Chain A
Amino acid sequence: MKKYVIKRIIISVITVFVLTTVVFFLVRLMPGGPFTNPKMTPEVQKAMEAYYGLDKPLPVQYLTYMNNLLHGDFGYSMTHANQSVNSIMFRAFPFSADVGIRALVFAFSIGIVLGIIAALNRGKKLDFVCVLIAIIGTSVPDFIIGGVLQYFFGIKWGLLPIAQYKGFRYTILPMLALAFATLASVSRIMRSSMLEVINQDYIKTAKAKGLNDVEVVAKHEIRNAIMPIVTIMGPLVASVLTGTFVIESIFAIPGMGKYYVESISSLDYTMVLGMTVFFGVLLVIANTITDIAYGMIDPRIRVR
């Protein structure tokens, strides 16, 4: 087990290193630069490039960047004057993480319950309702759900604030909008997984040995059916925590989502890299934990 964990961690570190290197050079291949705009005269552009060290040869810039990165320094943003990438991520991440955690907790708890109810009432009215919710959640994009929620709860009924993130009341609508799609897929996966488990031999055995229904469902069905949910949890956690551009934009949440999109279209090199490394590290950590968790639950995986 120890060997397995160490191997996973070494692979993770290499992954992040390769990712950073590839993105560093790829983003430089894009035409234009952070200071390309119609108001920039050639002299001013030169001065600004020198200020950010972009006048040096690319390999030198790469080594400098990697060296700084090892010290945890992501450098200064090229479009947010005098603000370091660290400070931007440090203040934006908590917002994304906050709304993300709320959405995840909501989506997983409600999603799993809905999936179970649907599976236990297969073909009945309750199943139909749960499936309908799942279909809406999967097929309607989050910005539509966000807009509808804003319109009714904010403008029409005036129950909740339309946008911004300044207290508990402000968190409800973005949480719902963000959670809906995840909730839908969780409930779908849970439902089909439950249905599969219900027909297994060991359930028959459990019933045959005289366990009551509640015990069968709680101890045997749910515990076995929940495995696929663990699989999708890792990547979902990473992507939801780091923010989503659309939801954060609609609800004016000062999270990380907009920086991903903005930094690429404005070719803010340091921001693009900072965001990529941050997201990459989170994703790799989440995947590694999932892998390790698997290894613990199912010994066969360790061997492969």
Chain B
Amino acid sequence: MKMKKRLLALFVALTMLTGCAANEGGGTGGESQGSAGAQELRLAFAVEPATIDPQKCTLMGEATVMLHMFEGLYRLDGTKVVPAGAKSYEVSKDGLTYTFHLRDGAKWSDGKEVTADDFKFGFERLVDPATASPGAYLAGMIKNATKINKGEMDVSKLGVEAVDDKTIKFNLEYPAPYFPGMLSTAAFLPARRDLVKKYGKEYGTSPEKLAYNGPFKATKWTHGEEMVLERNENHWDAANVKLNKVSIQIVPDPSTQLGMYENGELDYVEVPTELAANYPDAKKYSTGGVDYLQVSFVNGKYYSNKNFRKAISAALDREEYVKMAFGGVSEPAKRYVLPDVLGVKGTYGEEYPLEAFPANAEPEKAKEYLAAAMKELGVSSPGTIEITLSTADTEDSRKGAEVIQEQLTKNLGIKVKVNQMASKQYWANWAKSDFEFMVGGWTPDYSDPRTYLDLYISGSGSNRGVYKNPAYDELLEKSNTNDLKTRFDALFEAEKIVCDDLPIIPLDVRKKQYLINEKLKNFQPSFVQLNYNWLHAEFTE
């Protein structure tokens, strides 16, 4: 929003004018300060969770509250997958059958025992087309899930079986060693058959029309104003949860949030990129998002030429791009897959290091690639090449596209036009593969390289650039194995193909800057599945 930008500028100006730095006039808002005694965490969300029904989850903010109020079979703790609703699991030799053993004595907030059927029902509800769950696609690896969601098969045929009250068995379409890690996704949280039946469409629209099996429960939800979570004393691990209360205020304007933080009304706030320079000491975390230039292999005459794509990549100065478009908060992309995702034992990035893209432009190399491309395409001068970069109509997108336009024009001598359009139209064109060259991006659904790499499999639903590479498809097919070393080796080879053949041209890895109450410990911003994890957070003196 243009107006918000101006408001931010005003805040900066006022801050400079009156010389008031962070925290100077703090603590005058009349609110209680975060302290070890109260153990109350105060947060602000820009967008209110529309629902607390996990099978209706679409936004990260919703997933954030849901993953604290409910508990899946497993949970992601930083970069580790830890038991949660389940205490252990076995996997068959072929990697196609997973059997989970539920924790004894786990209870819902209303006192009912958590059973295998609650989980089974959650999965059925997720893939049932009658639910119209936006997250249904995530269950694709479970046997028959896709067919059921298309309406071709009855929901009773889903590969999930409640063996007894405390045992649940999954049959998969293909081996997926990341399955336990994926179970920590909000869409895979359990649901109560009796309550869904009782409340129908109202299920999950207010705190009492739901029951909770997670460490927290919603106790108050004033739409548009605030949501309050309190510790769920019925939770099996309640003794290890230190926070008594989490209050989430709905504050749409980022500079208002910042003002509230400086006034001591919040314990955590994200700094808008425009103000990043004022907070050099703010900490950073990766949101998991990657931005890239996406080309079409079926539209436009230049993009299917590999040398042309390589010329564009070499002409990009990613460091400058990040500085101009994100105030230097994000980082230049060195590779495609986020290094923080899970690997064989530790993280993928440590086990498979890769630096495919330099931070700065390589104009000489870029011109060489362009010359080769022109020869192959039969083009005589770079000046006759004109390409159009499509982008959404937000202020950030415009800024970013203009930086790219300038870099490509300068380093390649080609003509670049920028075409801004309403974001819905932009994504509608993308979905129809009706684009040539656009700024795109992806956020991970689970902690595994496949959440990024699946996008370029021939015929995959998200492969809108219509990239086709049999060698790539084969590597991803090869990664469908339970042997982790073989699997990750194959995925790494696939990532190298992306970085060399460039179905997309990576730009940056998104980061955010945040300020946090010094007394608040173990509050983890996260790159996947939820924005931050406060499960083990506590205030210390």
Contacts and interface: CB of A to CB of B under 8 A. Distances in A.
Contact of B29 (A42, A81, A161): A161
Nearest to A156: B25
Given A43-B150, A82-B201, A150-B259, A155 B25 contact: yes
Interface string B410-453: 00000000000011111111110000000011100100000000
22 contacts: A30-B425, A31-B422, A32-B422, A32-B426, A32-B427, A36-B424, A40-B137, A40-B431, A41-B461, A43-B146, A46-B150, A81-B51, A82-B56, A88-B223, A146-B7, A151-B259, A161-B29, A162-B29, A162-B259, A249-B253, A258-B252, A265-B422
B269 to A, nearest CB: 12
A240 to B, nearest CB: 18
Contacts of B260: 162-163
Interface string A2-41: 0000000000000000000000000000111101111111
A31 B428 contact: yes
Given A33-B428, A36-B428, A252 B29 contact: no
A76 B205 CA distance: 13
Contact of B136 (A38, A43, A146): A43
Nearest to A77: B50
A157 to B, nearest CB: 8
Given A30-B425, A164-B249, A91 B224 contact: yes
Given A83-B50, A252-B251, A155 B259 contact: yes
A246 B3 CA distance: 8
B461 A47 contact: no
A102 B240 CA distance: 48
A148 interface: yes
Nearest to B50: A80
A31 B205 contact: no
Contact of B50 (A33, A81, A144, A166): A81
B263 A155 contact: yes
B30 A161 contact: yes
Given A33-B428, A254-B225, 18 more contacts: A31-B425, A36-B424, A38-B441, A39-B134, A43-B149, A44-B133, A48-B134, A79-B50, A80-B51, A147-B7, A150-B256, A151-B11, A163-B253, A163-B259, A249-B252, A252-B252, A258-B252, A267-B424
Interface string B247-274: 0011111011001101101000000000
B492 interface: no
B379 interface: no
Contact of B137 (A41, A163, A254): A41
Contacts of B253: 163, 249-250, 252
A228 interface: no
A252 B317 CA distance: 39
A52 B58 CA distance: 16
A61 to B, nearest CB: 17
A267 B427 CA distance: 12
B40 interface: no
A132 B270 CA distance: 39
B430 to A, nearest CB: 7
B20 A254 contact: no
Contacts of B263: 154-155, 158, 162
B6 A144 contact: yes
A82 B132 contact: no
B203 interface: yes
Contact of B427 (A36, A147, A246, A254): A36
B205 A82 contact: yes
A48 B428 CA distance: 16
B205 A33 contact: no
Given A156-B25, A164-B249, A252-B249, A38 B11 contact: no
Interface residues of A, number: 61
Interface string B123-145: 00000011111101100000000
Contacts of A35: 134
A188 B18 CA distance: 33
A158 B29 contact: yes
A278 interface: no
A145 B11 CA distance: 12
Nearest to B135: A44
Interface residues of B, number: 68
Interface string B20-59: 1000010111100000000000000000001101001010
Contacts of B56: 81-82
A294 interface: no
B522 interface: no
A43 B137 contact: yes
B134 A44 contact: yes
B53 A82 contact: yes
Contacts of A141: 3
A83 B206 CA distance: 10
B225 A44 contact: no
A51 to B, nearest CB: 3
Contacts of B259: 150-151, 154-155, 162-163
B163 interface: no
B424 A265 contact: yes
B310 to A, nearest CB: 25
A50 interface: yes
Given A155-B263, A252-B256, A164 B251 contact: yes
B204 interface: yes
Contacts of B14: 147-148, 151
A46 B134 CA distance: 10
B237 to A, nearest CB: 29
Nearest to B429: A31
Interface in A253-276: 254-255, 258, 265-267
A30 B424 contact: yes
A47 B136 contact: yes
A239 B146 CA distance: 48
Contacts of A147: 7, 10-11, 14, 255
B256 A158 contact: no
Contacts of B430: 38
